[in-house]
Each structure stands twice: as C-alpha cells, then as structure tokens.
Amino acid sequence: MPGTHPLRRLALRRSLQAAELDALLVTDLLNVRYLTGFTGSNAALLVAADGDGESVFCTDGRYDTQSRQQVPDLRRVIDRRCDLALAAAAAEAGYARLGFESHRVTVDGHTALAGTAPKVELVRAPGMVEALRMVKDDTEVEALRMACAAADRALADLIAHGGLRQGRTEREVARELEERMLDHGASGPSFDSIVAAGANSAVPHHRPTDAVLRRGDFVKLDFGALVDGYHSDMTRTVVLGEPADWQREVYQLVATAQATGRAALRPGAGVREVDAAAREVIDKAGHGEEFVHGLGHGVGLEIHEAPTLSKLGDGKLAAGMAVTVEPGVYLPGRGGVRIEDTLVVRDDKPELLTLTTKELVVV
Amino acid sequence: MPGTHPLRRLALRRSLQAAELDALLVTDLLNVRYLTGFTGSNAALLVAADGDGESVFCTDGRYDTQSRQQVPDLRRVIDRRCDLALAAAAAEAGYARLGFESHRVTVDGHTALAGTAPKVELVRAPGMVEALRMVKDDTEVEALRMACAAADRALADLIAHGGLRQGRTEREVARELEERMLDHGASGPSFDSIVAAGANSAVPHHRPTDAVLRRGDFVKLDFGALVDGYHSDMTRTVVLGEPADWQREVYQLVATAQATGRAALRPGAGVREVDAAAREVIDKAGHGEEFVHGLGHGVGLEIHEAPTLSKLGDGKLAAGMAVTVEPGVYLPGRGGVRIEDTLVVRDDKPELLTLTTKELVVV
C-alpha cells in the first residue's frame, strides 16, 4: 500500500488529468512539503500526470543528504534555481501543457520559466494542491491533535501555576504560555500569541504590551502550537476575579454563538451558512456590529488556509476539513470576548481538537 | 526637517523620476514598513513621483486605529484588497506609467491589477525599494545594534551559567539561547537557531536535535535576535574541554579568513572581491572544497537581503550597508567551524556590531 505522500501525489495526478495537464510545477514550499514530506527551505516538484516514475524533485546542495532521506522515492535534481531546473526537465520530457502555480509564481518568475522552456505551454493552475490540502488525512489530523494538545496543556499549566495573576504584564503571560507549549512538544508557537487584558481585549488582534493584568479584567488569550508543521489555533477569554454582570452576559452570548457555529459544521454545509448561523445569535442580541470578523478559517500547514468561514467565503464543507470557529464581541474601551476552537468536520458531528473548557473561567 | 520615513519616500521618488514612472505600487509588506513604519500584516502603498501629497497608504479595517498612529502623514484608504484599491487610486489620479514590484506580484495578482486599471500602463519595477534598503540609515543601524547586543548578551549569559555543559542536548541549548535573547530585549529569534555539536557541526545548516554535547566537541552556534523588525546574525564555535590540534588549526584558519573578509569591507569593493579575499585564505590552506557557501549577505528587515557576498554576487559595497562575514570549514564526520559577525560598511573601517570575542573559547 502506498504511503501518505505517494497517495497525495496520486490525488493530484487525478486533478491534472481532469485539467488536461501533462504535469504541474509545484513551487510553493508548503505544497512541496505536503506532497513529499521535504522540510527544507528551497525546493520544487514536477508532478507528472503519468506517474511518480516521471516526477522530479529538486532542492539545492545544502539539502542533498536531507532530501535523500525525506524523499527517497522520487528522482532528484540538485540545483539552486529549482523552478528553472524543473521547467527544463519538463521541456526535456516533451510536455505540451505544464501547469504552474499562478497564485504564487511572480511576474518575473514566470518570465524566467517561459525563457527556460519556450516550447512548453505554461498553463495557469492556481490552488490545485491547496484544494487537496483542505481535507486532512489521518497523519495530518494526528499532527493537529498533538498541536492542539500542546496548547491545551500549556494553558492548563499557566493557570495552575498562577500565571494569570494580577500585576503581570501581557508580554510576560505570552512568553510563559509560549514556553509552556515548548514543554509540551511544540516546535514553536503557531503565530504571535495574543494576550489582551482589560480594554485591550476589545482589540481583535491586539499584540501583547507591558500593560498589567488587573482585577476585574477580561484576559483574552489567542494562541497555538506548531507540531510537525501543523498549526493549532485556540482562543479563551477568562476573568480575573468575580465577573461583572455585563461580562457574564457578553461571555454567555459569545459562547452560545460559538456552540451554534460548531453545531453547523457538517459535510455539505455552505461556509457562509455556517458563518451566518453563529452571526445570527449575536445579531439578535444587538451586538452584530461588534462582531467585526469572519467566523473561522481552515488550519493546517498554514495558520490561515482554505476554507474561509465568512460572509465572503465560498464553497461547502467536506468531511476531513480542519477549521476554527471563533466568534467575538468587542466593546471598545471596556473589553471583548472571543472563544475559538480547532475542529475537524466529520460525517456525524465535528471532532473537537482543542479540549480546554469553554465555561467562563474565573481566575 | 522631515522624519525617517518621509526621507525614505523622498529617496524613492528620485528613483521613480529617473525611471520615468508616475508612481510605484508597493505591495511587499517589508517595503511598505520601510517606507511608512506600518507593522500590520496587510497593507500597500502608492508612492507618487510628485510627492507625499499624492501618495496613498492602504490597510484593512483591523488596522484602522494602528495605521492612524503609525502612518499619520499620508492619505489612508481602508480596504481588504489593497493592491486593487491602490491600482484604482492610480487610475483615478490619471497616471500613465505605474511601476509594480514584478519580483513580488504574482501572475494572478498582475491580471487582477490590469483588470482594475486597464488604462494604466503597468511597468515592471523590481527591487526599487530593496535597492534603497541596502544602505541603512541611523535608525536602522541603531535597531541592528540593539539586536546584535541582545545576541551577544544571551551568549555571554549562556556560557556564564553553564549552559554549554556536557550532557545537554542541542535542542536545550537552542531553547535557552532563545529565551536569553528575549531577556535582553529581543522580540524573538531572528531565525531558527542552529546549535550543532560534534560531527553535526560539519553540517552547515544543521537543525538542533536531541544529540548530546560531549567533551572534545566543537559546538557551533548560529543565531540572532529580532529588535524593531531588524535581524542580527552571529555564529560562534566553541570547544568543550581542551581542543585537539586539528581543532585549533581549523579554528585559526577560519578566524584568519574571517578577519581577512572583514578587512576587505570598504566602500567601492566588489562583493565578489570580498568573498574572494576570505576564500583565498582557505583555498591556500587546502580547505577550499570545504567552504561550501558564500561569505556573507546583507541583513536588515530580512535575515537575508541584498547584497550577496559570494562568487555569484553582483555589485559593489557602499558606506552604510549592513552585511555578515561568515566563512566556514566543514570536515564531514569530524566537525566544522564557522565564525560570523554582523557589520556596517563605513568609510574608514567597518563597524562591528556583534562584539563577542572571536578567540577560541574553551568551555
């Protein structure tokens, strides 16, 4: 039985055949990683519609040994300009129609490709690998599960060891959270952590400052861990000390909207419908203007990838897609709440990967 | 007197006038940051040849408040697709020739621009801002100085506190080094730190593993700090315990080559000459085949930027350029040495920003 990467290349070959392409020149490094397992910083891949026997992997001399180990099953070329080396290989193979990643290849890069392979028709083929990447296979879900677990454990440790006490700065909390994710197996944070206290919690993408945590504050923590190249994404909002009535109300509203959004995740659901289901809850409570972003996004080798769950999104969910659900209500000058999980769409009900409680935590 | 960013835009306008462009559409986010100070994750800038009065900055709604503070001196547009919004602004202004960053704009992005502004001639203008960025102004050198100081201090602390002791893993050392850089004001490491012990030190871009530091090992540490968006870059190689004769010899050779390379840094020197000066030292000692990379690279808002000091580099140095000088000799299976500084080219002699000793440190 073929391994993970050959199976992914097989799926891509079916797309190539449907698009009547002889091959695809994959230059996006994450797409190369997805299709081969190669983790270096310079590579490209020529995937032939005919089969792996005709496909060619390229990297430069720094990665000769590494690529021999990680990509043992494909013909390898060593070159600094992999895009051009593989365009030349495509010309040599006599391909008539070569797809290229027109959403990634630059205008100057395209000119260089055309100069290298003047007899090959370069066909725009944007997003072919990304379309496959939307649906995660078991290996990917396992990496996401580990990344989500590292984040869950880091937050649990942070709270258990008094990391969210009054007088600490947002920056100190962010740093401790990130260090604790490393303790739990993360290779790093999956993005710059957001720690936002008090009025700062009303800023959706606040960056941690030297602002101090005070009694009565909302503290919003939006963070994630990176494991095997896969990103987790989670937001929790806690209160320091006894919550005020308005805090309980806003929290309950966002929690209800978030549960509604999660419940709407099923194969075949339109991404706009899912966004609308959660948004309606907040709209009806009169806070629609204060939910200023989309409901969620796909997550995997990138922290933000397809699909987009928003008013502007497009398409339907399918089983195996990994997405976030993260409504928020932000009251300028007072504070805001966002609650976010990472989940996998399943035939019955979505699989929750971020397991930290969504009850209002009072620290 | 105009501030830093208006002065940079003024310099760019001179380039635009020389290229007979009415304006440049700047979509590279680091170039936008360089020209405006804006640090958000979505923005573009239309720099008019005529002056700042005609220039337009764009970002999306998430950054409304932030951009008001960071970019108070330019007309602002709020839009999610800044490239298209500014192409429309260029069309509205009646520009005939609009430069675009053809080394960054994708093939699909270019099509969208042309569709938005069909009457404007889109002119390839690759690297115009990067050419200015090569020569650092005082604000930039100060940021680099702080970044280099954070790295120097982190290494000093690491050694002083016994961080390089036998039995620790490469991964543990890398993590401690990165945490100590944060203690000294870094917002993060400027790239994934390299810690390579024993035979691993012979791999130029080794990633830290669970390999353990042992007596007699070379330990190569290549790391840097990020301060205000500017990257420092430094490599030191130490020995655990008393060095063997071959280790002293290789170390001395690389140190001599590195000093020779530094001495060759002067305004007007060709980048290939500088590379050749250091390389000759290693060649003459019979180790030319084991110096498998270029001598150095520019450093600033990116960890690797122009100019490139190598056999394949192009152009001459100028006062104010910030570069690394980092020769290495790698003996497969035994160990390797690299010594790297970050420096600024000056009229008299280069200014050294990484101040840690280059004597062979025996831990």
Give all domains of chain B, ordered by start, each with its CATH number: 4-132 (3.40.350.10), 138-352 (3.90.230.10)
Q: Mark yes or no for CB contact B106/A104 under 8 Å.
A: yes
Segment A304-355, tens digit of pLDDT: 999 999 999 999 999 999 999 999 999 999 999 999 999 999 999 999 999 9
Contact A349, A304 (CB under 8 A): no
Segment A57-96, tens digit of pLDDT: 999 988 888 899 999 999 999 999 999 999 999 999 999 9
Q: Which residue of B has its CA nearest to A112?
A: B103
What lies within 8 Å, CB to CB, of A47 at 6+ separation is: A9, A12, A13, A16, A23, A24, A26, A35, A55
Residues of chain B found within 8 Å of residue A208, distances taken between Cβ atoms: none
Q: Mark yes or no for CB contact A107/B106 under 8 Å.
A: yes
pLDDT at A1 over 70: no
Selection from B93, B100, B102, B92 nearest residue B121 by Cα:
B100
Q: Which residue of B has its CA nearest to A171?
A: B187
The interface predicted TM-score of the complex, written ipTM, equals 0.90
Predicted confidence at residue B1, as pLDDT, reads 55
Selection from B329, B336, B326, B360 nearest residue B258 by Cα:
B326
Residues of chain A found within 8 Å of residue B103, distances taken between Cβ atoms: 106-109
Q: How many CA atoms lie within 13 A of A114 on its CB side?
A: 12
Segment A105-135, tens digit of pLDDT: 999 999 999 999 999 999 999 999 999 999 9
DSSP B96-129: SEEEE-TTTSBHHHHHHHHHH-TTSEEEE-TTHH
Q: Does the CA dihedral A96-A101-A102-A108 come out positive or negative? A: negative
**Amino acid code (one letter) for A267:** P
User: What kind and span of H or E run contains A274?
Assistant: helix A271-284
A73: its two tokens = 């099953």
DSSP state of A195: E
Segment A247-285, tens digit of pLDDT: 999 999 999 999 999 999 999 999 999 999 999 999 999
Predicted confidence at residue B86, as pLDDT, reads 98
Q: How many CB atoms lie within 10 A of CB B296?
A: 30
Selection from A185, A186, A203 nearest residue A194 by Cα:
A203
Q: Mark yes or no for CB contact B292/A179 under 8 Å.
A: no
Shortest CB distance from B62 goes to which of A65, A104, A204? A204
Using a 10 angstrom Cβ sphere, with 0-12 exposed, 13-18 middle and 19 or more buried, the burial of residue A52 is middle
A334: helix, strand or coil: coil
Largest CA distance in chain B: 72
Shortest CB distance from B107 goes to which of A105, A175, A204? A105
Shortest CB distance from B124 goes to which of A102, A105, A107? A107
Q: Mark yes or no for CB contact A62/B204 under 8 Å.
A: yes
**Helical segments of A19-71, H only:** 29-36, 64-70
Q: How many CA atoms lie within 13 A of A351 on its CB side?
A: 16
pLDDT at A2 over 70: no
Backbone phi, then psi, for B330, in 5-degree steps?
A: -120, 120
Give A107 to chain B, closest Cα distance, Å.
5
Residues of chain B found within 8 Å of residue A102, distances taken between Cβ atoms: 106-108
Q: Mark yes or no for CB contact B102/A108 under 8 Å.
A: yes
Q: Output b/e per residue, A184-210; b: 16+ Cβ within 10 A.
A: bebbbbbeebbbbbbbbbbbbebbbee
Q: Which residue of B has its CA nearest to A312?
A: B80
Residues of chain B found within 8 Å of residue A292, distances taken between Cβ atoms: 61-62
Predicted confidence at residue B62, as pLDDT, reads 81
User: What kind and span of H or E run contains A220?
Assistant: strand A218-223
Q: Distance between CA atoms of B311 and B351, rounded to whole angstroms?
A: 24
Q: Which residue of A has its CA nearest to B60?
A: A293
Q: Mark yes or no for CB contact A203/B65 under 8 Å.
A: yes
Contact A116, A84 (CB under 8 A): yes
Contact B231, B191 (CB under 8 A): yes
Shortest CB distance from A108 goes to which of B61, B103, B205? B103
Q: Does the CA dihedral A171-A177-A180-A181 come out positive or negative? A: negative
Q: Distance between CA atoms of A278 and A326, rounded to whole angstroms?
A: 9
Q: Mark yes or no for CB contact A107/B110 under 8 Å.
A: yes
Using a 10 angstrom Cβ sphere, with 0-12 exposed, 13-18 middle and 19 or more buried, the burial of residue A140 is buried
Give B340 to chain A, closest Cα distance, Å.
18
Pairing outcome for strands A23-26 and A322-325 = unpaired
Question: pLDDT 10s digit of each residue in chain B, 363 long?
Answer: 568 999 999 999 999 999 999 999 999 999 999 999 999 999 999 999 999 889 999 999 888 888 999 999 999 999 999 999 999 999 999 999 999 999 999 999 999 999 999 999 999 999 999 999 999 999 999 999 999 999 999 999 999 999 999 999 999 999 999 999 999 999 999 999 999 999 999 998 889 999 999 999 999 999 999 999 999 999 999 999 999 999 999 999 999 999 999 999 999 999 999 999 999 999 999 999 999 899 999 999 999 999 999 999 999 999 999 999 999 999 999 999 999 999 999 999 999 999 999 999 998
Contact status of B292 with chain A (Cβ, < 8 Å): yes
Q: Which residue of B has its CA nearest to A332?
A: B65
Restricting to A residues 102-161, those with a Cβ less than 8 Å away from any Cβ of B are 102-110, 124, 126
Shortest CB distance from B108 goes to which of A62, A126, A205? A126
Predicted confidence at residue A166, as pLDDT, reads 95
What lies within 8 Å, CB to CB, of B2 at 6+ separation is: B10
Residues of chain B found within 8 Å of residue A112, distances taken between Cβ atoms: none
Distance of CA A360 to the CA centre of its chain: 26
Q: Distance between CA atoms of B194 and B204, rounded to whole angstroms?
A: 9
Q: Is B219 left (phi over 0), alpha (psi -120 to 50) or beta?
A: beta
Shortest CB distance from A106 goes to which of B105, B179, B204? B105
Predicted confidence at residue B2, as pLDDT, reads 66
Predicted confidence at residue B65, as pLDDT, reads 84
B206: helix, strand or coil: coil
